[in-house]
Chain A
Amino acid sequence: MIVLNSSDGATFEVEESVAVQSQTIKHMIEDNCADTSIPLPNVNGVTLARVLEYIKKHAEAKDDEEGLKSFDAEFVKVDQASLFEIILAANYLDIKGLLDLTCQTVADQIKDLTVEEVRAIFNIMNDFTPEEEAKLRNDHAWAFE
């Protein structure tokens, strides 16, 4: 069993065979950094619990393609901020399946939005000057119309 410590002091136990779905944890174990417990200062307790839920399910139901699909669909039904936290955790822990799933989910959510709505979701400011933006938007016609 491996012990994981979140940034806010919560402790989690997980089987090594499950934990190595995270390439980051796998390398730490291989480099013998995991004697007592593994500190994960970039992931808080709530998010780590969710990530562990994902990798546990994917370890135990590995061959059940349909079951995993419906699990994944339910798994991503969380609020935006939590989804972003899971993405950051999946990136830091290097869990490819979870990163692909969450990035695809965000992409599906923003696909039909306007530019302003996308900015609101990602908390991004418009850093184009009005002249720059007008110039870019004008570049749009075929030579022959």
Chain B
Amino acid sequence: MAARIENLRPCRRQNTVSGCLPESKRLESCPHSNQKKKVLCMPRLPQEIVFNILLCLPADILYNVMRYVCQEWYNVIRDPVFANAHVLKSDRGSLIWTGPNRLGVPYVELMKPRDLIEMTRVRFPDFGGMLVSSCNGLVCYTTVKRSYYHYIANPVTKEIVRIPTASEVPWISCLGYTSSSKEYKLVEFHGGHERLDCGILTLGVDKEWRFLDATNQTLKIKRFLIEVLVGSQVATDDGFVHLPYYSFNLTLDLESETFFLCSVPNCSNTEREDRKYFGTGRSLCFMDRKGKFSWELWLLKNVPTGDWTKLATIDLGSQEQWLRQSLCPQGFRLGPIGWLKDGEIAIFHVNYDPSFGNLTLFHDAEAQPLRNCIAYNVKTGAMNSYKLDEDDNFYSGGSYVPHVKSLVSLEFATN
């Protein structure tokens, strides 16, 4: 199916601004001046240091404020080399999509300098579809009701492109990035009775969808269980798309565009709810529920060999009483929803647990948790609780997408 990639808004062909003004116009105290120095002379920082300082700032502040300081800073910030270095360095946060929201999608992140968790809003035009994934700051959003499109947008630079879907109702779609060839690829899965169709499109290169064959691998999966794969797909920024199954993951290598089966840690859990896969933004993590408040945490270190490392065991059971008092006296459940700092801090959502008491309280505002989010530092064991959502309808069925604010431009996608 031909995919005419439409540019909804001309991506800002950023004008090259003229060179900087000559040195003499800078406000440096001139040693030969006869005037008394009123202001302490500030040494001028060379461009490579300005580059390093700007790398430490969040993308939205760079784009909305720092760009306008002077032409030198403007040129540094618009440079794709800078944008790539910046996105590599930035910590990932978590987008929490629970449905269309006029205020924007809640985004949980660590704010420097004191590493406090904050929730802000990420806004992009709502076309009545569903947020499916985010890669290097590019958000991918799919509509399948009156029109069938993938929208890819950078909420910081406000660039957006639109690509028709390959099939009418894609089951799973996501956006990934291959760091070696530096390409962004849109992937769409659609299942039939015995096979899994996979469409792939390289942004800025392909004019049409191409189709990959996953038959060899999917033959190992009993055909009626292909639907199982729909559950939760995870794409990672390091060039792989993982579809979790039970004893293995079906993994697509975006660089070579081939499928393989990736092994998973051994665990006895068979309930899908108890085996959760999360993208951390750079890798895949697996949480195996061991008890009501304890999980084993695994991180995928090496994709081709299926090498998992056990990061930690989280056990909050010992603190259950104390947590119950400070979070939700009526009884609570914890559901893992995401990661910050590339696997260091786990975020849990606190839900009211109806098995603890009166079912009619379930929708009662009084029974709602006092604090509905816990951040747990896997290394240090430190725990903080937050009340994040004010107006959102927070339920445990939302999709949690690792995200980063970046300056990556969509100019290449419009070629």
Contacts and interface: CB of A to CB of B under 8 A. Distances in A.
Interface string B1-44: 00000001100100101001100011110000000000011111
B125 A142 contact: yes
B68 A87 contact: no
Contacts of A114: 65
B125 A143 contact: yes
Contact of A115 (B21, B68, B71): B68
B26 A103 contact: no
Interface string B159-193: 01000000000000000000000000000000000
B107 to A, nearest CB: 17
A144 B28 CA distance: 45
Interface in A130-145: 132-133, 135-137, 139-145
A111 interface: yes
Contacts of B71: 127-128
Range of interface residues on B (Cβ < 8 Å) = 35 or more
A125 interface: yes
Interface string A17-31: 000000000000000
Interface size class of A (residues with CB under 8 A): 35 or more
Nearest to B12: A139
Contacts of A143: 8-9, 125, 160
Interface stretch (A6-14, A55-63, A116-124): A116-124
Q: Is the contact region of chain A dominated by helix, strand, or loop, or is it mixed?
A: helix
A108 B112 contact: yes
B42 A80 contact: yes
A103 B40 CA distance: 20
B292 to A, nearest CB: 32
B301 interface: no
Contact of A123 (B44, B52, B57, B73): B44
Interface of A: 80-81, 84-85, 87-88, 91, 99-100, 103-104, 106-108, 110-111, 113-115, 118-119, 121-128, 132-133, 135-137, 139-145
Given A80-B42, A118-B65, A137-B68, 15 more contacts: A91-B48, A91-B49, A104-B113, A106-B56, A107-B53, A108-B56, A115-B65, A122-B44, A127-B25, A128-B71, A133-B68, A136-B74, A140-B158, A141-B158, A143-B160
